[in-house]
Amino acid sequence: MRDLLPREAEHMRFIESEAREIARLYGYQEVITPLIEHYELLAAKIGEENRKRMYVFEDLGGRRVALRPEFTASVARLVSTRMMTEPKPIRLFSTGSLYRYDEPQFGRYREFWQANYELIGSSRPEVDAEILSLSNDLLKKTLLEEYYFKVGHVGVLRGILSEEGVSETEQNRVMQMLDKKMWEEALRILKKLASERCLETLRRLFKISGGEWSNIIKEMRTSVEGYEKASSAVENLETILNLTSEAKMNLNVIVEAGFARGLEYYTGMIFEVYVPGMDIALGGGGRYDRLIELFGGEPTPAAGVALGIDRIMLAVRRQHPNWKPPRRGIRVLVLPVNEEVRGKALEVSSRLRERGITVEAEVMGRTVSRALSDASKRGISHVIIVGPKELKEGKVALRDMESKEQKTVTIDEAADILENYAV
Ligand code: HAM
């Protein structure tokens, strides 16, 4: 876990505000769920790897609870208990901190932030396409470049394995290995559980990957011939990708037939976002049609995505080392020339703030010349100098720190000028 200093905190909040803007544009309403939930709920479908990394403890009431490692379980709980009668679709947005006892390394923290979107109540491919589209829109807004979507479909691999009679527990084990790219180990487990035809099909699938997705889909289709569920999963993936093309989303997509994610609730299309040169995902998501039912709700299809704010921040800073969040408004310092006008300077500050202008009051008791040189170092754009002589006429001196121009104006005039800069 780490402290975010002002520059980082500002960047984090900037990405968060862009994420909230995307939620507004796509009609997602925010929900705020607790940081702590029952362990069983969070652990149910999170997958072995993530389950081991949860912060679990017993509270004073003897309940086994954990810090949330993601939002999806909490949102599914909320929908299955309190929102079941809401008209569908339900679009929900969440943002905040999550906790996983990951090994600390580049871009891997134990406390991190996500912008999370869930679209609940429809199994149609428009849903999957919308999740890809809003992820793409958010990444564009953060000024990230050259990112790409790695896309797969859980229904292809699980379809084959269930037709082979491999139990769900064993399927989960295999999927965990594939998530870690341990192809050979996965095949070794399956040797005892599935037919030679199945192993051959999987070997072929693990090699299929590429950016020309219509060709990749063709290869996948021929590879899974005879496996009914897997074939319809390939069709579903093709329909989703076709929709993204028809909608001119211009997604940079790499389809990987053997792609799996560690979370166990996925049932359909899955994806992760990457940038070249960074081998950690900036975001991930997919379709999960059975989670809400598992938590006691009616069968309710859904899909969603979580974008990792910390990692987006890292990637943007790598691509644009000098990037600063766009400043909203200006920075004004109100500076009394002596002790006698201190109170008056505070009053002037308040009057400017009432007009919506960001004002910092001088609190260090510095001389005017020291305060001015300090102000330019700190990026103050304007200084209002409050002196007894000008005050007698109800005026102050307004100094533009960049042009070094100074003029004597009334407080209202100063506010008018500064207000113009502020928008
Ligand atoms: P996830 O892939 O576990 O998916 O996490 C999503 C993103 O959170 C990752 O791609 C990454 O950017 C960020 N993240 C995860 N762990 C860390 C960490 N230790 N340090 C920094 N960033 C991290 C989910 O959480 C699913 N709930 C996504 C979802 C929503 N699926 C459907 N709806």
pLDDT tier for residue 327 given thresholds of 50, 70 and 90: low
The tens digit of pLDDT for each residue in 257-306 reads: 999 999 999 999 999 999 999 999 999 999 999 999 999 999 999 999 99
In this predicted structure, what is the pLDDT of residue 196? 96
Mean pLDDT, residues 81-106 taken together: 96
**Ligand 1 centre from 109 Cα, in Å?**
11
Ligand 1 centroid distance, CA of 71 (Å): 9
Of all atoms in ligand 1, which is nearest to the CA of residue 261?
2
184 CA distance to ligand 1 centroid (A)?
A: 26
Q: Burial, 99: exposed, middle or buried (Cβ in 10 Å; 0-12, 13-18, 19+)?
A: buried
pLDDT at 90: 98
Closest-CA residue to 328 (of 24, 96, 18): 18
Residue 423 has pLDDT above 70, yes or no: no
Residue 97 has pLDDT above 80, yes or no: yes
Question: What is the enclosing helix (H) or strand (E) of 396?
Answer: strand 395-400
- Over residues 212-234, mean pLDDT: 97
**pLDDT tens digit sequence for 356-366:** 899 999 999 99
- Hey, where are the domains in the chain? 6-319, 332-422
> Of 27, 40, 20, which is closest to residue 116 (Cα–Cα)?
20
306 CB near ligand 1 (under 6 Å): yes
User: Greater confidence, 92 or 328?
Assistant: 92
pLDDT digits (tens, 9 = 90+) for 135-169: 999 999 999 999 999 999 999 999 999 999 999 99
**94 in contact with ligand 1, CB cutoff 6 A:** no
Q: pLDDT, tens digit, for every residue of 106-129?
A: 999 999 999 999 999 999 999 999
Contact 310, 113 (CB under 8 A): yes
Residue 247 has pLDDT above 70, yes or no: yes
Pocket lining: 128 vs ligand 1, CB cutoff 6 Å: no
Q: Is the pLDDT of residue 413 over 90?
A: yes
Please indicate whether residue 70, judged by its CB atom, sits closer than 6 Å to ligand 1. yes
Mutate to test the pocket of ligand 1, among 311, 313, 314, 316 (most ligand atoms within 8 A of CB): 311
Q: Bridge-partner residues for 257, per DSSP?
A: none
Q: What average pLDDT score do residues 68-82 get?
A: 98
The closest-lying atom of ligand 1 relative to the alpha carbon of residue 118 is 33
pTM of the model: 0.94
Does the CA dihedral 368-370-372-375 come out positive or negative?
negative
Least confident of 56-70, 114-128, 193-207, 319-333: 319-333
Cβ of 38 closer than 6 Å to ligand 1, yes or no, is: no
The predicted pLDDT at position 385 comes to: 98
pLDDT at 422 over 80: no
Q: Strand, helix or coil at 55?
A: coil
Average pLDDT, the chain: 96
Distance between CA atoms of residues 293 and 76, nearest Å: 9
With helix as H, strand as E and coil as C, how does 308-363 read? EHHHHHHHHHHHCCCCCCCCCCCCEEEEECCHHHHHHHHHHHHHHHHCCCCEEECC
CB of 341 within 8 A of CB of 386? yes
CA 45–ligand 1 middle distance (angstroms): 14
Q: Architecture of 6-319 per CATH? A: 2-Layer Sandwich (3.30)
Q: How far apart are CA 224 and CA 232, in angstroms?
A: 10
Would you tell me which CATH number, out of the four given (3.40.190.10, 3.50.50.60, 3.40.50.800, 3.40.640.10), belongs to the domain 332-422?
3.40.50.800
DSSP, collapsed to helix, strand or coil, labels residue 301 as coil
Percent of the chain with pLDDT over 70: 99
User: In the structure, what pLDDT confidence band is assigned to residue 370 with cuts at 50, 70 and 90?
Assistant: very high
What is the 3 state secondary structure string of 63-120?
CEEEECCCCHHHHHHHHHHHCCCCCCCEEEEEEEEEECCCCCECCECCEEEEEEEEEE
